[in-house]
Amino acid sequence: MKPVTEKAVTETTVYLPAEDQLYYDYSNFIVYRSNTEGKTITVPAALDQVPLFIRGGSIITTRERPRRASTAMKYDPFTFRIALSKSGVASGELYLDDGDSYDHEKGQLVWRQLAADKTASKKTRKPLLKISSRDLALENPDKAVDGVILRGTYTANNSFAETIKDVRVERLVVAGLERKPKSVKVEDEDRKLTWEWLDGVGAGHKAEGSASILIVKDPRVLIVKDWVIVIE
């Protein structure tokens, strides 16, 4: 038997674009900050690893269950990675169709707008964070499919959407919150959620290092429905 050895670790340089924004390491949510002149940073990278960063202000959707083929993921739940910007907000989109036919040109699709926005509490006037999902295809029927107008064709409960109506969000990972929340709940339902907090750097701070992380466990909100999760 060969002795177990540690994975070889080396370093590589990465150029961050010329903008006053922050970037999160995808694998560990370490925060690096760029500037208006651009910036070159040195990051650790194993020999089998390519450095990957999420720009502050982005929401990345992933399916994280290992499968032999992408077609086997159709009913898998989603994880949303929410990387807050310097101003503490983020946005993204989720688009799905059957990946096989041209039925998306007939309105058989799911296109969602994802947002993490600040709002003021009526009681404390302190900014809260609301994470929401809304139907972007319904709001923009002329833009949902290139060259095809879906006005009068698209419906939220189209046949494709019905096939994945039970697909849910199984985890929210919010990076860069300024402070530990007191509660996380689904708006309107007033349903409190289970969550975990890892202390770290807030997006609005000037420091670099491990970002604060809020992990919301199995909020049980559906991909095809509108919903709002309130962090306060």
Q: What is the pLDDT of residues 111-147, one digit of tens each?
A: 999 999 998 766 666 778 999 999 999 999 999 888 8
Residues 6+ apart with CB under 8 A from 98: 104, 108, 160
CATH at 162:
2.60.40.1180
Q: Is the pLDDT reported for residue 100 higher than 80?
A: yes
Q: Are 137 and 158 in contact (CB under 8 A)?
A: no
**Residue whose tokens read 């949902």:** 144
> What is the rounded distance in angstroms from the CA atom of residue 185 to the CA atom of residue 172?
12
- Given pLDDT bands bounded at 50, 70 and 90, which one contains residue 70? confident
Give the pLDDT confidence of 86-99 residue by residue, as tens digits: 999 999 999 999 99
User: Residue 71's pLDDT is what?
Assistant: 85
What percentage of residues in the chain have a pLDDT greater than 70?
A: 94
With respect to residue 143, please indicate whether it lies within any of the assigned structural domains: yes
Give the pLDDT confidence of 12-26 residue by residue, as tens digits: 999 999 999 999 999
With respect to residue 152, please indicate whether it lies within any of the assigned structural domains: yes
Number of structural domains the chain divides into = 1
User: Residue 204's pLDDT is what?
Assistant: 92
With respect to residue 199, please indicate whether it lies within any of the assigned structural domains: yes
With respect to residue 135, please indicate whether it lies within any of the assigned structural domains: yes
- Given pLDDT bands bounded at 50, 70 and 90, which one contains residue 9? low
With respect to residue 49, please indicate whether it lies within any of the assigned structural domains: no
With respect to residue 40, please indicate whether it lies within any of the assigned structural domains: no
Owning domain of residue 193: 55-231
